[in-house]
Chains A and B, each alone.
Chain A
Amino acid sequence: VCTSRFWFNYRHVANTLSVYRSVKRLGIPDSHIVLMLADDMACNPRNPKPATVFSHKNMELNVYGDDVEVDYRSYEVTVENFLRVLTGRIPPSTPRSKRLLSDDRSNILIYMTGHGGNGFLKFQDSEEITNVELADAFEQMWQKRRYNELLFIIDTCQGASMYERFYSPNIMALASSQVGEDSLSHQPDLGIGVHLMDRYTFYVLEFLEEIHPASQTNMNDLFQVCPKSLCVSTPGHRTDLFQRDPQKVLITDFFGSVRKVEITTETLSLDRDVAGFKSQFPEEELATEPLKYAEQLPVAQIIHQKPKQKDWHPPGGFILGLWALIIMVFFKTYGIKHMKHVF
């Protein structure tokens, strides 16, 4: 998500597009990426090289290209839309490309950049999202089982304040600067006239260039990226909500889409394996310890829970009274002599 617009915020768009490119390179398809940009750089009248967005003056890498798929562009990048994408509360007419179609086995990477402050991030120069809102949105995602693990990276001034309020499990967060510090941009390009990238993202991208789908680099290495000497600001990270050890978390778990494929030439008998799988699942379910943030019911139980049906019955007195009246009317009209037929 790039939350700024206007020509002088070129670097934010370049940041986002570079991360987008890396993530695509590592295997995540466009259908699994929600890209929110103001998208006013490439065709901006001030762009000396139209239809391009460059990320590094020496690399001259055009991160815009022909196959960028922007899902929310220009004025659609609002706090409301962002929160709706996260929580899934989207009007039914929204196309699939604009939805975050995640479930409880999905790992989600959220990268945000723009202008921020202590506890807020500015969206499009007219509104803000606060860290509390963001934390609540993540909690909603957790309650609705919309993620398995979530990596949140933010590259703004005082970015660490944005992850202070998270309280949902399985979230890891990285920020480019601590509270009270500014994130600085990397270098200007004299031909284009603006700064092309931010420092933190630049070094993160350098780091990501060495990652390929089979690499075993883990999160601890990512935390070391951009020390104070290079970045001037102090990057921060937060792993206390995360249940696995960051040492064991691969970069490709979030940045890439790595399928574990095992090719075999033998034939497998499925009956045996199904039984095997069945016995595996209850163990897996039991292995996750009960979460202390809420008493979580399995989703199936939540869906099928209905209020207990108490059938209403007319009170006995009413029925008695009504039928007594009816019988009285009947006998009044037809005479008592019929009583002997009844009894």
Chain B
Amino acid sequence: MAAPLVLVVLAAVTVRAALYRSSLAVFIAERVEVASPLNAWKRVVEGLALLDLGVSPYSGAIFHETPLIIYLFHFLIEYAELVFMITDVLTAVALYLAIQDFNKVVFKKQKLLIELDKYAPDVAELIQTPMEMHYIPLKVALFYLLNPYTVMSCVAKSTCAINNSVIAFFILATIKGSAFLSAVFLALATYQSLYPLTLFAPALLYLLQRQFIPVKLKSKSFWLYTLQYASLYLCSLVVIICLSFFLLNSWDFIPSVYGFILSVPDLTPNIGLFWYFFAEMFEHFSLFFVCVFQINVFFYTIPLAIKLKEHPVFFMFVQLAIISIFKSYPTLGDVALYMAFLPVWSHLYRFLRNIFILSCVLIFCSFLFPVLWHLWIYAGSANSNFYYAITLTFNIGQILLISDYFYAFLRREYYLTHGLHLTRQDGTEAMLVLK
């Protein structure tokens, strides 16, 4: 399996290198869909230039990266393109290894449940076989590397790629079962952009499953393990933040990075939902609505944790998707990360109801983004409503995608335990409805 992966990696690197050398590189680097105020490359360069001139990079409202990124790029700024290509490759390899392990876990669990007779008798066609699962890791790596969103993100040199790679390593560490490493990587991911905090719950659930600790509120071992993991995570977070203090000897980065993410002062258009609302909102209400929007991101963790506590990796996927839809400055790089996971649930294909419409919506919106941007900013014949309409449609498409997969997943689980041919009490055929 290594050889096809190497081929895929080579193809991806070639595509990116070709795009770097072409004239599209400059065009893509300026697109707002891939470069948000949080992770645009222009701002990294500006921050480092400010530092060379002896001024703190956080003194203006331009630079919103963490000090570790400053440290990374201080030495690597001439090799930036190489760094981003390597980051993408590392992400893909991490996802590949993670999904390989995950497949083994799924298969083992399936075998256990079959032997325990937990499945209904007529669900033979729903069971996953090693044959069809053999190529899934390769497909995941392929989906991530050759996704046009990822390629554009890489060519634009947006630091979203670094964020993605940290999250990918976190997923790898979680699936391999190492609580310490997963806590460290989660701390790094949270340190860079605040939202992976919500991935704490699925990681915890997965690790509890691996340790065979049942999730019961009264169980002492559950609380012990949770406390262990939480303290590992919080300690690493605190250590990383204190370390960043020593880079510039100031706490400036906290309001610049986290204050910026939470209070959303910069209303540059992007593919998210925040900018339009706050552009036309009165000052009076902005604090309230900022709180509402931010709670919206974190809120879904709890109901999903309750519903999906047996399936933490799917929970992680849904959580990643929710982060990338509802975060304050989403970019296409975030979208690419959760889309890389779609092959893992390709067996749900028969239960997906809206997949055709969804894919059409997503593809059309991706094409319409630059068109309406051009019409709005350059031609002047459209206005921000047009662009926001496409943003809204894109996000609706994404939300529908997630809810479709969610429905399909739950439906499959129900069929597995209750049999494929459901009958109501009076013997007629029944339909499953997601309430």
Contact = CB atoms under 8 A, between A and B. Distances in A.
Interface of A: 307, 309-315, 317-319, 321-322, 325, 329, 332-333
Given A307-B53, A322-B243, A329-B181, 11 more contacts: A312-B52, A315-B246, A315-B249, A317-B246, A318-B71, A318-B247, A321-B243, A325-B239, A329-B180, A329-B184, A332-B180
Contacts of A317: 246
B74 interface: yes
A311 B239 contact: no
Nearest to B244: A318
A54 to B, nearest CB: 53
B385 interface: no
B65 to A, nearest CB: 14
Contacts of A322: 68, 71, 243
B181 A310 contact: no
A229 to B, nearest CB: 67
B221 interface: no
A313 B68 CA distance: 13
B51 interface: yes
Given A329-B184, A333-B178, A318 B52 contact: no
Contacts of B70: 314
Nearest to B74: A314
B187 to A, nearest CB: 11
B54 interface: yes
List 6 A-B pairs, minimum CB-CB distance, nearest first: A312-B51, A318-B246, A318-B247, A321-B243, A314-B71, A333-B181
Contacts of A333: 178, 180-181
Nearest to A326: B184
A312 to B, nearest CB: 4
Nearest to A322: B243
Given A307-B53, A325-B239, A315 B180 contact: no
A62 B52 CA distance: 65
A333 B53 CA distance: 40
A317 B242 CA distance: 12
Count chain A CB atoms within 10 A of each CB in B178, B184, B239 and give the residue with the most: B184
Count chain A CB atoms within 10 A of each CB in B70, B74, B239, B246 and give the residue with the most: B246
Nearest to A319: B71
B181 A318 contact: no
Contacts of B180: 329, 332-333
B283 to A, nearest CB: 36
A148 B217 CA distance: 90
Contacts of B68: 322
A179 B74 CA distance: 66
Interface in B23-78: 51-54, 68, 70-71, 74
Contact of A312 (B54, B178, B181, B184): B54
A181 to B, nearest CB: 57
Contacts of A310: 52, 54
26 contacts: A307-B53, A309-B52, A310-B52, A310-B54, A311-B52, A312-B51, A312-B52, A313-B74, A314-B70, A314-B74, A314-B247, A317-B246, A318-B71, A318-B243, A318-B246, A322-B68, A322-B71, A322-B243, A325-B239, A325-B243, A329-B180, A329-B181, A329-B184, A333-B178, A333-B180, A333-B181
